[in-house]
A and B are shown apart, each in its own frame.
Chain A
Amino acid sequence: MAKLEEIETEEHGETTMSIKMRRKKKKYSIIIPTYNERLNIALVIYLVFKHLQDFEFEVIIVDDGSPDGTQDVIKQLQNVYGEDRVLLRARPKKLGLGTAYYHGIKHASGDFIIIMDADLSHHPKYLPSFIRKQMETGASIVTGTRYVRNGGVHGWNLIRKLTSRGANVLAQTLLWPGVSDLTGSFRLYERKAFEDIISSVVSKGYVFQMEMIVRASRKGYHIEEVPITFVDRVYGSSKLGGSEILEYLEGLVYLLITT
Chain B
Amino acid sequence: MKHILKIMALLVAVAGIWISLLETSVVPRSYTWLLPVYLVVSLGCYGLLMVGVGLMLFPTCPQEASLLQKDIIEAKEFLKSKGVDVGAV
Contact = CB atoms under 8 A, between A and B. Distances in A.
Most-contacted residue by chain B among A46, A166, A234 (CB, 10 A): A46
A42 interface: yes
Interface string B58-70: 1111101100110
A208 B50 CA distance: 25
B89 A38 contact: yes
Contact of B82 (A80, A123, A147, A229): A80
B7 interface: yes
Contacts of A174: 7
A173 interface: yes
**Chain A residues touching B, range:** 35 or more
Interface in B31-89: 47, 50-51, 54-55, 58-62, 64-65, 68-69, 71-72, 75-76, 78-79, 82-86, 89
B47 A47 contact: no
A148 B75 contact: no
B9 to A, nearest CB: 13
B59 A231 contact: no
Interface string A75-89: 011011000000000
B64 A169 contact: no
Contact of A234 (B50, B59, B68, B83): B68
A255 interface: yes
A154 B61 contact: yes
A235 B51 CA distance: 30
Task: Decide if the interface of chain B is mainly helix, strand, loop or mixed.
Answer: helix
Contacts of B64: 123, 152, 154, 229, 231
Contacts of B61: 151-154, 229-231
Nearest to B62: A154
A68 B54 CA distance: 39
Interface in A117-133: 120, 123
B54 A259 contact: no
Given A43-B72, A43-B75, A255-B3, A169 B65 contact: no
B84 A154 contact: no
A161 B76 CA distance: 31
9 contacts: A42-B79, A42-B86, A77-B84, A80-B79, A80-B82, A153-B59, A170-B47, A176-B3, A218-B3
Given A152-B64, A165-B50, A218-B3, 4 more contacts: A147-B59, A152-B59, A153-B61, A234-B69
Interface of B: 2-4, 7, 47, 50-51, 54-55, 58-62, 64-65, 68-69, 71-72, 75-76, 78-79, 82-86, 89
Interface of A: 38-39, 42-43, 46-47, 68-69, 72-73, 76-77, 79-80, 120, 123, 146-155, 161-162, 165-166, 168-170, 173-176, 218, 229-231, 234-236, 255-259
The 5 closest A-B pairs by CB, nearest first: A152-B61, A152-B59, A165-B54, A46-B75, A229-B61
